[in-house]
Every structure is written in structure tokens, then in C-alpha cells.
């Protein structure tokens, strides 16, 4: 795959279709693959990486990149194309300045899950018939492939590319995923249990803002959480209220625009399941205002920018079963 | 500091009222000499859709035990469609608060027209009673703002 991508990038650079490529390169360790921009064939040869740890969604970078001179080549996985399509819809990117090559998606690996098995010093991985062979500084270890995949890939919603100029490999289909299972489980708990669950999770928050910074839907030039008058800018939450507030508002600001790419949970250094908050909104929108998948198209109206005269009243929340 | 053990809990209710309907409704209930509890503090907003989720959270932070949002009846909005957007937003927000385990009866949306002074008073009486039963807001409070 990596070979085919490098060749494609070189070819497009050589024929002048694009003048830059956004891809990924290795970070300090084998498992921290970070997005990077490449400008020449030599750079691509020496640094471009695409492997099972390459899970970062590059669509948010394109908001800035597409405003520079020339065209940029972006490799997008199916979930990334939803994010990109949503950005087109919101006029945050210039479509003509981006050349999109769709690549098959995951499942991608979660280094934390490998480390949780006590396997450290990871040098590289190989997937052989869904057994993960992990090369470490202490020798070779193995574990089942599906036990090491990212949560967001375990509940993948679609293998279909919604926007692309060309594809490497085959296009997939929208999947029937189980992504609302955990939300449902929480909904069926009592209010006290839910409160305890979220207190345990959200109290871990250190307000590093990684969830906000990585989110392809969070593209405001000026963020409400950077407002010096808000009293909550650039600092750790002082108490439970501030933790709740940050996460409610963060999720609310992307409600109806969140494509459920799962990046927020992936980057959280405290492993807070932030995607559950987004999924709760998506689930509510689907059940109350009709099925809606953000980023699926560029024409439909976002549920929170739209209304129906016979929408349900807010009291529907108070009439639900579990207290 | 004096502690009065027998003092009944008096909730603080914040009511966001839209300028065109509910605020006039509150006015009407006053001119009609209808009673509603003094726990209710009204904040006038140009339209119910002026209220963003942060307003509601901030009210809870600063010591509110219940927040009620009043606007024109759907279809009667002074700005044509503001309250339709409010309805969707608040439904989602209240659902999220409920999801986080915060008592859902602390929040409410009610449509009160300028002619419904009686409805305004009745709504406030009933809402204050129900919040009183829930007791002080502990799950969404800011300890730094707690009154002694």
C-alpha cells in the first residue's frame, strides 16, 4: 500500500497536478505516526509512512493547506472523506486546491491496547492472518489482531469514500455498525449510575484541548474556550462544573456536524471516551429529526440549522423511561 | 454564622423570557395580580433562540437550582423561526444533561404568549415546586460559587 501511494504521489508531483503532498511520517516511535507535508520525491522516498498505525485524519490540516499556493495531494481514508466533505459543505476548504486520492481504511491499531498487554518497546508490527506479530526490543510477541484495533475502527460506520478524485483499491460500502451500543447501555442506566460514570471519566480531563484541536469539525478561527474573558481559557478544570461544561459545550458545538470519525477519543491522553458524547447527539438527531449522517453530502441542511413545524417538544426528554 | 436547621430549602430559578411573548406574559401576570414565587428571577432575552447552551450552564454554575426557558409559541416567533431552532437546540442539550446524569427536571422549555399571564404564573408555581422537591443543585454546581 505504502509503495503504491508513494508512486502515485511521485507521479502526480512529476506531472504538475499537485505541488505538495500531505501524508504521514514517523514520529519518535514506530506507533506515533504524525501527519506531514512533503514537497519532493526524495522526501517521499525517505519519510512517507503508511502502515497499521497510520490513523490520523488529515482533513483538518487541509483547511490551512488549501489556502496556500498550488494544489495539494491528500490521501484520505473513508472516514476522513466524510470529514472533508463536511468541510466542503461549510466552505472551510477550497475543493479545487485539493487532489484527493481515496485509500482503503483500517482497521488501524491502538498502541495503548498493545501496551496494555504488557508488550513494550514496540519496534514494528506485522499482521499475519489476523495475528499481530509485534517486533519489540525484547524479542517478538504476538496477539490477536482484532484485540489491538482502535475503538473507532471497531465500530466503523462506512468503508465508502464520499469524495475523491481517484481511488487506490476498491471502494467499500456503508456498514451496519454497532456504534450506538455503548450509548444505549448508558441510557439504560439510572441517573445516578450515569452521573458516576461520567464523573469518573470527565474528572480525568486535564484540558489539554487535544480533542478540540484534532477535531475536523472544530474549525473556528476563534474558539469560545480561548476567550480570555471566559475564565476557562488555557487552564485545567478547577472543579467538576468546568469539566462538565467544557465537554458539553465541545460536543454541542459539533452536534449535527460531527461525522463520528472518532479522533477525539483516539487522541485523548487520558482515554476519556469522548466519542460517546458526540454519538449521543448523533443518536438523538437520528431518532428525533430523521436519519442524518454529517459529511455524507454537501447539499443537505444540518439538523441544527433546520427545523420542522411539527418537531417534538423539549419535554420529550423528561418523558423518557429511565430516571 | 447562624445555621437555621428548620429553614425550608428555597430554590433559585432562572427564567429566560423572550422579549415579545413571555416577558410580556410575565408582565401580564403581574398586572393581573397573579402570584408566582419570588424564587424566579427573570432574564429578558430578545428571542428564546438568543439563549445558547452556555447561558444555561452558567446559570447553574452561579447557583441556579432550575432553569426554565420561555418563548413564543411555535409559529408565533417575532423573528419568524427563532423558537423552532430553540426547540431543537434545547431538546438536544437537555437530553445531553440527562445523559450526563444531571436531573432532567431542573430544566424546562415552556411556550408562553403575551396573553397567557395565568399560564406564566401557573408554570412558575409548578416548576418551582418540582425543583424544590429535587433539592439543591449538586451535580452541576461550582463549589466556588456556593452560597453559605
Global pTM?
0.92
Q: In this complex, do B91 and A241 lie within 8 Å of one another by their Cβ atoms?
A: no
Q: Per-residue confidence at A323, pLDDT binned at 50, 70, 90? A: low
Q: In this complex, do A311 and B109 lie within 8 Å of one another by their Cβ atoms?
A: no
The mean pLDDT value for A234-257 works out to 90
CA distance A288 to chain B (A): 9
Are B113 and B21 in contact by the 8 Å Cβ rule? The answer is: yes
- Ranking A19-33, A220-234, B47-61 by mean pLDDT, the lowest is A220-234
Nearest to A30 by CA among A130, A125, A110, A153: A125
Q: Per-residue confidence at A125, pLDDT binned at 50, 70, 90? A: confident
The three-state secondary structure class of A97 is helix
- Ranking A150-159, A196-205, B119-128 by mean pLDDT, the lowest is A150-159
Q: Per-residue confidence at A231, pLDDT binned at 50, 70, 90? A: confident
A-chain CB neighbours of B99 within 8 Å are 183, 186-187, 194, 277, 280
Q: In this complex, do B88 and A289 lie within 8 Å of one another by their Cβ atoms?
A: yes
The mean pLDDT value for B87-110 works out to 93
- The pLDDT of residue A120: 85
pLDDT digit string, tens, across residues B43-73: 999 999 999 999 999 999 999 999 999 999 9
Complex ipTM: 0.91
A-chain CB neighbours of B144 within 8 Å are 238-239
Q: Per-residue confidence at A25, pLDDT binned at 50, 70, 90? A: very high
In terms of DSSP H, where are the helices of A254-305? 263-267, 275-289
pLDDT digit string, tens, across residues A61-105: 999 999 999 999 999 999 999 999 999 999 999 999 999 999 988
Q: Per-residue confidence at B2, pLDDT binned at 50, 70, 90? A: low
CA distance A290 to chain B (A): 12
Decide if pLDDT at A166 tops 70.
yes
Q: In this complex, do B88 and A187 lie within 8 Å of one another by their Cβ atoms?
A: no
Q: In this complex, do A244 and B140 lie within 8 Å of one another by their Cβ atoms?
A: yes
The three-state secondary structure class of B139 is coil
A-chain CB neighbours of B101 within 8 Å are 191-199
The three-state secondary structure class of A37 is strand
Distance (Å, rounded) from C-alpha A322 to C-alpha A194? 11
Tell me the β-bridge partners of B108.
Answer: B68
Please count the other Cβ atoms lying within 10 Å of the Cβ belonging to residue A319: 9
Give backbone dihedrals phi and psi of A72, rounded to 5 degrees, phi first.
-120, 140
Radius of gyration of chain A (CA): 21
For B146, name the nearest residue in chain A, comparing CA atoms only.
A241
Decide if pLDDT at A203 tops 90.
yes
Q: In this complex, do A252 and B92 lie within 8 Å of one another by their Cβ atoms?
A: yes
The partner residue sitting opposite B57, judged by closest CB among A245, A308, A320, is: A245
Decide if pLDDT at A322 tops 60.
no
- The pLDDT of residue A103: 92
pLDDT digit string, tens, across residues A276-296: 999 999 999 999 999 999 999
Distance (Å, rounded) from C-alpha A208 to C-alpha A215? 13
pLDDT digit string, tens, across residues A174-195: 888 788 999 999 999 999 999 9
B-chain CB neighbours of A307 within 8 Å are 81, 84-85, 87-88
Q: Between A105 and B22, where is the model more confident?
A: B22
Domain chopping of chain B, boundaries: 26-134
Enumerate residues 6+ apart whose C-beta is below 8 A from B5: none
Q: Per-residue confidence at B6, pLDDT binned at 50, 70, 90? A: low
Amino acid at each position: 500500500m505504502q509503495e503504491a501511494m508513494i508512486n502515485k504521489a511521485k507521479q502526480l508531483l512529476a506531472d504538475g497536478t499537485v505541488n505538495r503532498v500531505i501524508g504521514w511520517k514517523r514520529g519518535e516511535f514506530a506507533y506515533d505516526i504524525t501527519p506531514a507535508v512533503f514537497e519532493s520525491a526524495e522526501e517521499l522516498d525517505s519519510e512517507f509512512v503508511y502502515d497499521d498505525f497510520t490513523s490520523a485524519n488529515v482533513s483538518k490540516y487541509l483547511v490551512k493547506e488549501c489556502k496556500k499556493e498550488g494544489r495539494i495531494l491528500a490521501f484520505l481514508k473513508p472516514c476522513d472523506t466524510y470529514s472533508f466533505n463536511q468541510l466542503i459543505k461549510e466552505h472551510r476548504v477550497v475543493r479545487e486546491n485539493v487532489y484527493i486520492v481515496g485509500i482503503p481504511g483500517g482497521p488501524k491499531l491502538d498502541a495503548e491496547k498493545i501496551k496494555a498487554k504488557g508488550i513494550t518497546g514496540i519496534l514494528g508490527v506485522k499482521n499475519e492472518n489476523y495475528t499481530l506479530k509485534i517486533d519489540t526490543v525484547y524479542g517478538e510477541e504476538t496477539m490477536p489482531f482484532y484485540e489491538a484495533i482502535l475503538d473507532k475502527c471497531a465500530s466503523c460506520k462506512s468503508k465508502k469514500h464520499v469524495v475523491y478524485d481517484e481511488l487506490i483499491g476498491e471502494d467499500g460500502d456503508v456498514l451496519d455498525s454497532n456504534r450506538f451500543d455503548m450509548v444505549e447501555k448508558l441510557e439504560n442506566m439510572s441517573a445516578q449510575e450515569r452521573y458516576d460514570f461520567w464523573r469518573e471519566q470527565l474528572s480525568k480531563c486535564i484540558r489539554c484541548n487535544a480533542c478540540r484541536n484534532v477535531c475536523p469539525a472544530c474549525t473556528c478561527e476563534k474558539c469560545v474556550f480561548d476567550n480570555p474573558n471566559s475564565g476557562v481559557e488555557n487552564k485545567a478544570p478547577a472543579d467538576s462544573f468546568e469539566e462538565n461544561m467544557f465537554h458539553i459545550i465541545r460536543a454541542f458545538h459539533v452536534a449535527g456536524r460531527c461525522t463520528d470519525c472518532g479522533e477525539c477519543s483516539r487522541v485523548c491522553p487520558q482515554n476519556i471516551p469522548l466519542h460517546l458524547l458526540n454519538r449521543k447527539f448523533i443518536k438523538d438527531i437520528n431518532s428525533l429529526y430523521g436519519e442524518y449522517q454529517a459529511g455524507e453530502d454537501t447539499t443537505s441542511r444540518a439538523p441544527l440549522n433546520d427545523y420542522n413545524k411539527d418537531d417534538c417538544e423539549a419535554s420529550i426528554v423528561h418523558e423518557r423511561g429511565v430516571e | 454564622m447562624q445555621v437555621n436547621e428548620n429553614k425550608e430549602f428555597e430554590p433559585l430559578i432562572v427564567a429566560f423570557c423572550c422579549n415579545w411573548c413571555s416577558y410580556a406574559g410575565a408582565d401580564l401576570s403581574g398586572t393581573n395580580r397573579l402570584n408566582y414565587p419570588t424564587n424566579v428571577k427573570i432574564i429578558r432575552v430578545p428571542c428564546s433562540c438568543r439563549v445558547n447552551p452556555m447561558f444555561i450552564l452558567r446559570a447553574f454554575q452561579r447557583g441556579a437550582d432550575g432553569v426554565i426557558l420561555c418563548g413564543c409559541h411555535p409559529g408565533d416567533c417575532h423573528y419568524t423561526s427563532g423558537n423552532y431552532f430553540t426547540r431543537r437546540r434545547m431538546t438536544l442539550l437537555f437530553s445531553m444533561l440527562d445523559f450526563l446524569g444531571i436531573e432532567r427536571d431542573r430544566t424546562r422549555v415552556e411556550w408562553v404568549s403575551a396573553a397567557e399571564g395565568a399560564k406564566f404564573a401557573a408554570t412558575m408555581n409548578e416548576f418551582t415546586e418540582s425543583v424544590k422537591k429535587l433539592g439543591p443543585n449538586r451535580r452541576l454546581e461550582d463549589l466556588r460559587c456556593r452560597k453559605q
